[in-house]
Structure 1
Amino acid sequence: MGSEELLWSSIAFMGGIAGQQQAPCGVLSSSSVFLGLRHRCSLDDKQRAKEARTLIRQQAADLVKGFEEKFGTIICREMIRFDTSDPVEYEKFRQSGIWRQKCNKAIEFAIDRLYDFEDSRETAAS
């Protein structure tokens, strides 16, 4: 799966899920999708599939815990303090530039953590 497919597979997670922000930050949902795709394997190999599921759950849990420690919450609305399900509030959110501060920082955090997971995996394999 290329980066464009990954982007489109997760696009609805912006603003929680489609702006309905009682959900976790979209970067957590997208990162969870990425982890599943990154570690996917044949379901025919039951032992390997079980190990992959365990690893995915562990990494997703670590990501969520670290995210909450850094940002104080995993819920979109609590982070950005705008109701993006309301078109007027969404426009205020866009114009405020808060997404440059909070959303971009959340994305950077998740990317760094995903790289950390990959580095740990490579170190363990060595």
Structure 2
Amino acid sequence: MSNERLTKVPEFLGELDGGVFENKVAAALSEVAFGVLNNGTKGKVTVTFELDRMSNSVEEKRVMIKHKLAYVRPTPRGKSSEEDTTETPMYVNRGGKLSILQEDQGQLFTLAGDPDAKLRAKQ
């Protein structure tokens, strides 16, 4: 498969939950790292993705991505954990590339700049 058709992971993470998920992962990594450094025990950050087709129609080409962030941070008397789950709908473009917007939205105008005949309202 061509690399241009693969999902670009930094863009993908930036689009999840309107850009908030990327910040949640950054905060969890920092918090767990700080707890590990201060308490000398292991911590854990887990990111899980579940993909489900949005409708029974193959033509819609959208999936709902459930993204879960869970972490365990060491504390002086044990550990602290948190879990956060959100969902983001995404388009599955050519080759399986995931993005928040559809890459090919069809031809809206002719070469002369007129609306495509398919878009004209019937009178």
Q: Same fold (TM over 0.5)?
A: no
By percentage of residues, which structure has more helix?
1
Q: Taking structure 2 as the reference length, what is the TM-score of the superposition? A: 0.31
Q: Which has a greater percent of strand?
A: 2
Greater radius of gyration (CA): 2
TM-score of the aligned structures, taking structure 1 as reference length: 0.30
Which structure is higher in RCO with an 8 Å CA cutoff and minimum separation 6? 1
